[in-house]
Structure 1
Amino acid sequence: MSMFKKLLASVGIGSAQVDARLEKDSLLPGDTVKGEVHITGGDVAQEIDEIYMYVVTHYEREANDTKVKEECTLVKHRLSERFTLQPRESKVLPFSFQLPYETPLTMGRQPVYLRTGLDIKNAIDPGDSDFIEVRPHPLMSKVLDAISHLGFQLFKVDCEYNRYLGRKYPFVQEFEFRPTGKYRSRLEELEVIFFLRDGELEVLLELDKRARGFLGALEEAFNLDERYIRIRLTDSDQNRSVANIASVLENMIDRNIR
């Protein structure tokens, strides 16, 4: 019977189970991910080589004129060394690690999730996945509110492969806005990319100008209609009003689309 149970456990029947329980599942980039991993032994004793935790997201990449989704591991956290889990034994292991500042926000359909698993030799590894809500950092919220204050509406949020702008990871998260106010006749769209670090936020704004006449159409054809603006904010800017930040952005946009 014991050999039969071991055979079943090797294909996942009567094997150990793992369940990650987050202290909070709504976080900011740079926050600490905390919780406990609950492990329950199966029908037979099993050697657990390690317990691993990944924070995973997806981004889109163009290949052969088709967009494909690729998975990106943002962080890997190893929770334990090798140990033997006895039949029906229960273990609770606390975990704590930092969510990277580059973690994309879970706006639109962008997923971020915690994947937890047991590495068991010669057996199917049991696992558990938990979605994490990633909210905007306060500085990001200020900028997003300021852009809305200027009459732009958020149209799309997605993560795109970009080997030029991607830093720690091969993608950037793009926030695409459409103008509804005074910029409606002057801009096609405004794209925003955030680069968050400890105590600082760098914002890259891409202005896509509307083509006007022959020269405008020529600029558009050669992608010369796009202009870039950079702005840096620090933690001290959290005390600035949305209207103040909007005024700064408005002046920078106006200077670049004349």
Structure 2
Amino acid sequence: MLLRKYMSLLGIGSAQIDLILPKDTYEVGENIEGYFLIKGGTIDQQLRQIDCELIMSEQLMGIKEIIDTQSILTSKRIESDEIYKISFSFKLPDSISVSSEEISYCFKTKLTFNEGVESRDKDIIRII
């Protein structure tokens, strides 16, 4: 048991997060509804925070810009092998540029624990 605890502190066998979206293409101003799927690892872990950022990447200039961020503070304890869902809702700004060969978008999600390595996820979306 002690070995599994130390391994999860290093990120091996720790809980994982995945942002589940119903599709990958959205319109400017559209409301995105989905959920975070958290899968428990080999040991119980205390969750602290979920951060999800919408990031725009501009290829020609090499610019990455955070469009908006959502944070969820939680004190949920995720047990080993438990599956836990948290609702996700995000309204795309009306002033956002559409996706192109030069401009792309993604959601970067980070799950932070009281102890251990963070779990990360990246979901690419297209805006039309």
Report the TM-score when normalising by structure 1: 0.46
Partner of 1:120: 113
**Alpha-carbon distance, 1:21 to partner:** 1.0
Q: Is the 8 A contact 1:38 1:91 kept in 2?
A: yes
Helix, strand or coil: the match of 1:111?
A: strand
CA distance in 2, matches of 1:128, 1:70: 20
Q: Is the 8 A contact 1:75 1:100 kept in 2?
A: no
Partner of 2:15: 16
CA distance in 2, matches of 1:10, 1:70: 33
Q: Is the 8 A contact 1:52 1:76 kept in 2?
A: yes
**Alpha-carbon distance, 1:104 to partner:** 2.5
One-letter amino acid matched to 1:6: K
Helix, strand or coil: the match of 1:12?
A: coil
| Structure 1 runs not aligned, ≥5 long | 61-66, 136-258
Higher relative contact order (CA 8 A, sep 6+): 2
CA distance in 2, matches of 1:122, 1:6: 10
Matched, 1:38 2:31: no
Partner of 1:27: 26
Report the TM-score when normalising by structure 2: 0.89
Identity level (%): 23
| Structure 2 runs not aligned, ≥5 long | none
Q: Is the 8 A contact 2:58 2:104 kept in 1?
A: no
Matched, 1:84 2:77: yes
Matched, 1:109 2:102: yes
Greater Rg over alpha carbons, structure = 1
Matched residue count: 128
Alignment of 1:40-79 (within 5 A): 40-59=39-58, 69-79=62-72
**Alpha-carbon distance, 1:24 to partner:** 2.7
CA distance in 1, matches of 2:61, 2:102: 15
Q: Is the 8 A contact 1:104 1:112 kept in 2?
A: no
CA distance in 1, matches of 2:34, 2:72: 12
Q: Is the 8 A contact 1:30 1:100 kept in 2?
A: yes
One-letter amino acid matched to 2:106: Y
> What is the RMSD of the two structures over their aligned residues, measured on CA atoms?
1.8
One-letter amino acid matched to 1:47: Q
**Alpha-carbon distance, 1:35 to partner:** 0.6
